[in-house]
Amino acid sequence: MKPVIPFVSNADGAERQAWRTALQEVLKDIADVKTFEELTPDECEAAKVAIVANPDPAEVAALKNLIWVQSLWAGVERLVGELPEDGPLIVRLTDPQLADTMAEAVLAWTLYLHRDMPRYAQQQSRKMWKSHQLKLPEERTVGLLGMGNLGIKSAQRLKANGFPVTGWSRNKKSIAGIETSHGPEGLKSLLAQSDIVVVLMPLTAETRGMIGAETFAHFKIGASLINFARGPIIDTPALLSTLDSGHLSHAVLDVFDQEPLPEEHPYWVHDKVTVLPHISAPTITSTAAKIVAGNIEQYLKTGAIPAAVDRTRGY
C-alpha cells in the first residue's frame, strides 16, 4: 500500500484542491496525497512527512509523528514562528525556476528605476513633455542585500545586463564576477556605492526592522530601494521620512507588514512609492510540485531529508 502524504494548508478551497491535484499527479506512483480533513486517525498517526502551505499549526501538531514538513513557499518565517522548536524539521521550497522568476523581476524593476519610469509616468499625468539625461547601466550600481538562491541569480541577471553589482550576506561569500561583503562595515560600504538597493533577505529576528533610520542614513542621496523579500525588514515610518526628505528618490515595494496593504496606507498614494501586490516571484505550481515530489520520493526511498531551516538563525 502506498503511504499517505498529508497536505496541510489554510488556502481557500479552490487553491487547496488545485495544489492537491498537482501534488497527487507528480506523486501518484509512490504516494497518496490527502488534505488534512481527508485523513483517518491511523493516517494522522502514520504520517512522517507532510506538505504544508500556510498550515493551521494545530493541524500540524495533530500529526504527532511528523519528522519533517515540506513548505510550498521559499519564505518560511511564519512556520518558524508558529511551529514549536522541537517540532518537525522545516524544509523550504528551493526551486531554480522561482530564482529565475525573481531574477527577472529584479531586472524588470531595476530597469523601471534606471529608465526613470516613475518620473515619466508622473509627467504624463501632468501632460508634461520633458526629457531627462540618460545614464548607462554601467553608471548605476545595484546593491543586493541577501545573496542566497534568489540574490545570486538576480545578481547574475543584472550583471549580464551591464549593471555593476555588489552583494551582501550574513556570512562571507565568494561568487564569480560579483563583488561581495558581509558584516556591518560591508553593509555600509554597499549602501555608500549603490544607486539601487534590492532586499532579498529572509525575515528573521536579525533582519526584522534592519532597514530603519540608521541604515537609511548610509544610503546614497537619490538612491532607490526595491523590497522583494518581506515587509517587516523595512521600518515603514523611517522609509516614509527618508522619501519625504528627498534622501531616497523611489521605493518599489512588493511586500508589506500587512497584506493586502490596507486601503488607508500612505504608500498607496505616495508619489515616490510603487506598490506591487506580492507578485515578484510567486510559487509556480508545476515546477514546485516536481521539486516537492523529488524530495519526498528520495525520503521514502532512502530516508534522506533535504537541508532543513536552521531554527536558531531563522532561515
Strands 32-35 and 68-71: unpaired
Give pairs for 33-41: CB < 8 Å, separation 24+. 33/4, 33/5, 33/6, 33/7, 34/4, 34/5, 34/6, 34/7, 35/6, 35/7, 35/8, 35/9, 36/6, 36/7, 36/8, 36/62, 39/4, 39/6
Our finding on whether 296 is near ligand NAP (CB under 6 A) is no
C-alpha cell of 104?
527577472
Exactly one of 171, 258, 302, 312 binds ligand NAP (CB under 6 A); which one? Answer: 171
Query: Looking at residue 132, what DSSP letter applies?
Result: -
Exactly one of 70, 169, 215, 274 binds ligand NAP (CB under 6 A); which one? Answer: 169
* Dist. CA 89–CA 74, nearest whole Å: 15
114 labelled catalytic: no
230 labelled catalytic: yes
CA torsion 9-11-14-15 (nearest 10°) is: -80
Our finding on whether 100 is near ligand NAP (CB under 6 A) is no
Exactly one of 32, 43, 206, 257 binds ligand NAP (CB under 6 A); which one? Answer: 206
* Dist. CA 23–CA 51, nearest whole Å: 9
CB 7 within 8 A of CB 23: yes
Please report, as residue ranges, which positions from 246 to 265 form the binding site for ligand NAP (by CB under 6 A): 254-255
Please report, as residue ranges, which positions from 218 to 247 form the binding site for ligand NAP (by CB under 6 A): 228-230
Instruction: Specify the residue, 247 or 278, whose C-beta has the smaller distance to ligand NAP.
Output: 278
Sheet with 32-35: strands ordered across: 32-35, 4-9, 49-53, 68-71, 89-91
Our finding on whether 170 is near ligand NAP (CB under 6 A) is yes
Beta bridge partners of 51: 7, 70
Strands 223-227 and 165-169: unpaired
Strands 32-35 and 49-53: unpaired
Stretch that binds ligand NAP, among 14-22, 78-86, 117-125, 204-212 (CB under 6 A): 204-212
Interface with ligand NAP (CB under 6 A), residue total 29
CA neighbor of 94 nearest in space, from 33, 22, 153: 153
Exactly one of 50, 281, 288, 289 binds ligand NAP (CB under 6 A); which one? Answer: 281
Our finding on whether 148 is near ligand NAP (CB under 6 A) is yes
Our finding on whether 149 is near ligand NAP (CB under 6 A) is yes
C-alpha cell of 231?
515587509
Stretch that binds ligand NAP, among 3-11, 111-119, 279-287, 293-301 (CB under 6 A): 279-287
Question: Which residue number has the CB closest to ligand NAP?
Answer: 148
Exactly one of 247, 278, 290, 311 binds ligand NAP (CB under 6 A); which one? Answer: 278
Choice among 182, 218, 278, 311 that is catalytic = 278
Quick note: the x/- pattern for ligand NAP over 52-91, rule CB under 6 A, is: ----------------------xx----------------
Instruction: Specify the residue, 45 or 310, whose C-beta has the smaller distance to ligand NAP.
Output: 310
Point out which residues bind ligand NAP (CB under 6 A).
74-75, 146-151, 169-171, 173, 200-204, 206-207, 228-230, 254-255, 278, 280-282, 315
Catalytic machinery residues: 230, 278
